[in-house]
Amino acid sequence: MLGGKLLKSTQWWSCLGSKLPPHRNQVASESVHGSRLAADELKSCQVCLEENKACKCRPGEDIDEQLKKEVNCTDGGDHHVKANTSFAHAVINMIGMLIGLGQLSTPYALENGGWTSAFLLVGLGIVCAYTTYLLGKCLQQNAKSKDYPDIGEHAFGLKGRIIASTFIYMEIFMALVSYTISLSDNLTTVLSGTHLSVPWVHLSTSQLLTGMAVLVALPSLWLRDLSSISFLSSGGILMSLIIFLSVPFTAVFGGVRANHSIPVIQLQKIPAISGLYAFSFAGHIVFPNIYTAMKDPSKFTKVSIVSFTLVTILYTALAFMGAKLFGPEVKSQITLSMPRHLIITKLALWATILTPMTKYALEFAPFAMQLEQNLPCSLSSRMKMFIRASVGSLLLLGILVLALLVPYFQHVLGLTGSLVSICISIIFPCVFYTRIYWSQISRSLVVLNLTLILIGSLLAVFGSISSSISLLESITRGHAH
């Protein structure tokens, strides 16, 4: 029995390190379950010492070294984390996380909501910058908190972690569906005139092209080492810059005049477009990792101010340019409104196509790493990779099917923003901060946070209802045709 116990202990110590993979931003997360197991094993080792028995927790190492390694692994992860990110690098990371699908839809949102809805866009940018600051304060209050679920657990225990994790995975899944719809729309546009057919497969050319593109990106999910695919994120800002510059270049070189008038306001459409605006600032699930990776976390507030200011200016400028150039004809994705014969349009379309294909592996990474952490230690690396690849492939194929069945970009993106992004970016940070600092914050700050929670809840409810109704109407019309 003692030999079996020591063998079990040895296996657990051996696989502990492998169960702590890097986060999507190369920041390891603390495992509460692992900490409890560690405590049990440390007690076992202490019994060995007290009884003057040879401790065989790991052959060839003394107990002091093992204890040091275990403390480093479980007590905040300092052994794995190198906080060496500079201020400029942190700003680039945050901007890269914020810029994405949101910029494609802001001209459409402004045209449909009216030019006064720009105040809502700017207001959400300010609020999300503030809630980013709140997340930093929550991390500062508890050194053991490393990521978004950790903050939820610090505030409300295990229930807080489960709720935060659930919404994070919902946002990742729904965002990937939106990315795939965008991929399909732009791929069909750039390859218009192409005709494909497969015997016994009743799919349109657009659906076949989208399926082929997703299959090309599928092997990236099989890579286990995130560092080998982290280079995919470096092109994100470049792609976004190409898309942004393509709009003014269309006016300068494409002969499109910015002579359309924008409505003042269309109140009935505000709930739906609020989700589009909210999604544009949704990046809070990764911001805690940016904080923990900084050499000087005290500058995190400045990082958020600079990042959100630049992104809000970019979004607002792009929204007005797109709405003025294309008016009521502006599409839900600005790239689909641009003259197709222009070279800059083709560049923008390909940039929009490549962006989703590089996002799949990066967006799937947090789920994949959590999956590996929950797999039994007795499984071989090859089996873990097989399970990871199988689950990732099935999820991506499910996302592909859903995107093909519901190809309505603006409604799916609006629903994602209203149902999930507002909760993660506005409501939860205010709730977590208020709960954690309840005995320390002033009454005015409590009132401010409660007000933001109320406003966020109203936007989430009415936005989700409006987007859901529009989505159902589009699906009904699609089946009717």
Q: pTM for this one?
A: 0.78
The arithmetic mean of pLDDT across residues 167-193, rounded, is 90
Note the pLDDT tens digit of each residue in 115-155: 999 999 999 999 999 999 999 999 999 888 888 999 999 99
* pLDDT score at 234: 64
∠ CA(214), CA(340), CA(403), 5° rounding? 25
CB atoms within 10 A of CB 439: 5
Most confident of 205-219, 354-368, 455-469: 455-469
The arithmetic mean of pLDDT across residues 98-113, rounded, is 90
Nearest to 420 by CA among 214, 180, 164: 164
* pLDDT score at 481: 62
By percentage, how much of the chain surpasses pLDDT 90?
A: 46
The arithmetic mean of pLDDT across residues 345-350, rounded, is 92
Q: Which residues of 277-316 are buried (b: 16+ CB within 10 A; e: fewer)?
A: bbbbbbbbbbbbbbbbbbeebebbbebbbbbbeebbebbb
What is the band of 464 on the pLDDT scale with cuts at 50, 70, 90? very high
The arithmetic mean of pLDDT across residues 71-97, rounded, is 66
* pLDDT score at 15: 41
The arithmetic mean of pLDDT across residues 194-223, rounded, is 82
* pLDDT score at 20: 37
Residue 18 has pLDDT above 80, yes or no: no
By percentage, how much of the chain surpasses pLDDT 70?
A: 79
Rounded CA-CA distance 94/43 in Å is: 42
Residue 33 has pLDDT above 50, yes or no: no
Asked if 305 and 94 touch (Cβ cutoff 8 Å), the reply is no
Residue 380 has pLDDT above 80, yes or no: yes
What is the band of 201 on the pLDDT scale with cuts at 50, 70, 90? confident
What is the band of 230 on the pLDDT scale with cuts at 50, 70, 90? low
* pLDDT score at 225: 54
Residue 473 has pLDDT above 60, yes or no: yes
> Per-domain residue ranges for the chain?
81-370+378-476
> Higher-confidence residue: 360 or 307?
307
**Lowest-pLDDT range, 77-91, 309-323, 389-403, 426-440?**
77-91
Secondary-structure class of domain 81-370+378-476 per CATH: mainly alpha
> Higher-confidence residue: 281 or 48?
281
Residue 113 has pLDDT above 60, yes or no: yes
The per-residue pLDDT of the chain, averaged, comes to 80
Asked if 283 and 94 touch (Cβ cutoff 8 Å), the reply is yes
Rounded CA-CA distance 27/293 in Å is: 7
* pLDDT score at 384: 82
> Higher-confidence residue: 82 or 92?
92
> Higher-confidence residue: 265 or 200?
265
**343 phi, psi to nearest 5 deg:** -65, -40
Contacts of 456 (CB under 8 A, 6+ apart): 422, 423, 426, 427, 430
Residue 445 has pLDDT above 70, yes or no: yes
* pLDDT score at 85: 80
* pLDDT score at 233: 59
**Lowest-pLDDT range, 11-15, 305-309, 366-370?**
11-15
The arithmetic mean of pLDDT across residues 434-462, rounded, is 95
* pLDDT score at 324: 93
What is the band of 441 on the pLDDT scale with cuts at 50, 70, 90? very high
